[in-house]
Amino acid sequence: MIKTCALWLRNVFIRNRSLNATRIVAGSFAAIILIGALLLTLPIASRDGQSAGFFTALFTATSSTCVTGLILVDTWVQWSFFGQLVILAMIQLGGLGFMTVISLLSFALRRRIGLSERLIMVSTLNLNDLDGVVRTVRHALMGTFLMEGAGAVLLSIAFVPHFGLLGGIWRGIFHAISAFCNAGFDLLGGRFGAFSSLAGLQDNPLVLGTIGVLIVIGGLGFFVWEDIWEKRCWRKLSVYSKMVLIVTGALLLGGTLFFLAEEWANPATLGSMTLGEKIGNAAFQSVTLRTAGFDAIGQGGLTDTSKAFSAILMLIGGSSGSTAGGLKTGTVAVLLLALRSGLAGREQVTFRGRTIPYRRVLNAMTLALVMLFLFLLGSMLISTVEDLPYLDCAYEVASAMGTVGLTTGITPTLSTLSQTLIIVLMYTGRVGVLSFSIAVVTRSKFPAKLKYPDMNVMIG
């Protein structure tokens, strides 16, 4: 029976030739969200035995599947163990990509991976070509379960003294998966208060350190893992892996130093902490903004400058082919390199002796401009509808589009119209970027049949 169901899923979602890769990925995310919302609507999913209502369930399901973390109700206070299991399943499926999990069936059934399946894997993991994709997916799945398992053990050690044996183990598993998938959902509301996230454990280096490491590893990307595992030497790494690691390190270090300087004396965030706690929480803030969504210091207390800087980091996000969202580190690196070439008057965009194709540069610019337009439009719409400060609304929109999940506290207070817009932005931030990448991979690359005369345009 199980084998029959597995083959049916494989045929429906992978072998269907009438569906292209873009529609399959977008449709699979939509299907997971809808099924999850219906399950969360059931009375058994709520702790009090009363249905949470379809809209609350839909918002939670979208946030879970898109590994965002924005919530209307506290995860522990509202949802029963069944509801938490549903949320955790959606986080895992959304983080790895449903089609990657479906491909696991082919591995289990020892069936040959066809061309259509390989294309879906490329699409889901946001890779550039089919070369070695099956090996990358297999290693990604193995690495994911290994990292989540190790994280669950370490977090269980920290949680058992607070929540007992079973409660500590369950929270260790839940938070390890949520952190690795960059989701930001937590089960600490019953102990430290609703919507508290990690604020009650901001002085616990084991919790912050473990979750922080899982966030970074999950956000690096499966291709970078594969490259590091095979080469195990900086000089032998691919140019792309070096680019991702350099940009990631620069963002993490720069973010840590910025928050230390800006929030050092702020009593609402780092002001009352010891030196070690300030450094640890500033570093964690820099890490969690990489689309993770765990909050240890309270985002509502940040200065306006910190909120603006945080919005930038959230929009950048993690790396391609990872569990993170956002514009991606590689895209930002290409944009910065294009800026450098433009300022230097060079026509070619280069990095470490390699030329980045013009098509890649154009794709990066297109994606960046689309995200910037949606970010500005969404921020203005929510600010106008809710009559709230623009910066708080921009922070919320950046969190949704970057699939981060951090909030200054306004999410539950927004009107249904604004919350619906947040749902759309979360879906767009996760699925829209994937769909754009898939379109780039699958579109035809034939030269144009017509060439028009050059046009002189005044710039500046």
Widest distance between CA atoms in the chain: 74
N- to C-terminal Cα separation, the chain: 66
CA dist., res. 134 & res. 256, Å (int): 37
User: Residue 380 domain-assigned?
Assistant: yes
Q: Would you state the structure tokens that stand for residue 87, as one six-digit string? A: 């949320």
In the prediction, which pLDDT does 345 show? Answer: 85
HSE-CB of 50 using CA atoms within 13 angstroms: 3
Residue bearing tokens 């603006």: 308
Quick one: pLDDT at residue 247?
92
Tokens encoding 452: 């028009």
| pLDDT confidence of residue 114 | 56
Closest CA to 223 of 319, 117, 327: 319
Q: Residue 445: what pLDDT?
A: 54
- Token output for 295: 């909050």
346 in a structural domain: yes
What are the strands, taking DSSP E only, across 138-181? none
Q: Can you give the residue range of the structural domain that contains 81?
A: 2-442
DSSP string, 179-209: HHTT----S-HHHH-TT-TTGGGTT-HHHHH
pTM: 0.86
Integer Cα distance of 363 and 355 in angstroms: 15
User: Is residue 310 a part of any domain in this protein?
Assistant: yes
Query: With a cut of 70, which residues of the chain have pLDDT below it?
Result: 1-24, 97-136, 432-449, 458-460
Output the six-digit token pair for 367.
Answer: 């994606």
Residue 447 inside a domain? The answer is no
- State how beta strands 354-356 and 349-351 pair: antiparallel
b/e 130-153 (16+ beta carbons within 10 angstroms → b): eeebbebbebbbebbeebbeebbe
pLDDT at 29: 85
180: amino acid identity, one letter: F
d(Cα 394, Cα 378) in Å, to the nearest integer? 8
C-alpha to C-alpha distances, 272 to 195, 267, 275, 369, nearest whole angstrom: 21, 6, 10, 40
User: Rounded distance, CA 256 to CA 282, Å?
Assistant: 5
Mind spelling out the 3-state secondary structure of 29-67? HHHHHHHHHHHHHCHHHECCCCCCCHHHHHHHHHHHHCC
| The predicted structure's pLDDT at residue 422 | 95
Do 297 and 202 contact (CB within 8 A), yes or no?
A: yes
Question: Smallest Cα–Cα separation from 152: which of 207, 217, 216?
Answer: 207
| Domain-located, residue 457 | no
Radius of gyration of the chain (CA): 22
User: Do the domain assignments include residue 56?
Assistant: yes
Predicted local confidence at residue 144, as pLDDT: 86
Segments in 324-357 forming alpha helices (H):
329-344
Residue 456: inside a domain: no
Tokens 């979208």, located at residue:
62
Q: Which two tokens stand for residue 277?
A: 């706690």
Q: Are 144 and 129 in contact (CB under 8 A)?
A: no
- Distance, in Å, from the CA atom of 53 to the CA atom of 56, rounded to the nearest integer, reads 6
Number of domains composing the chain: 1
Query: Would 185 be classed as within a structural domain?
Result: yes
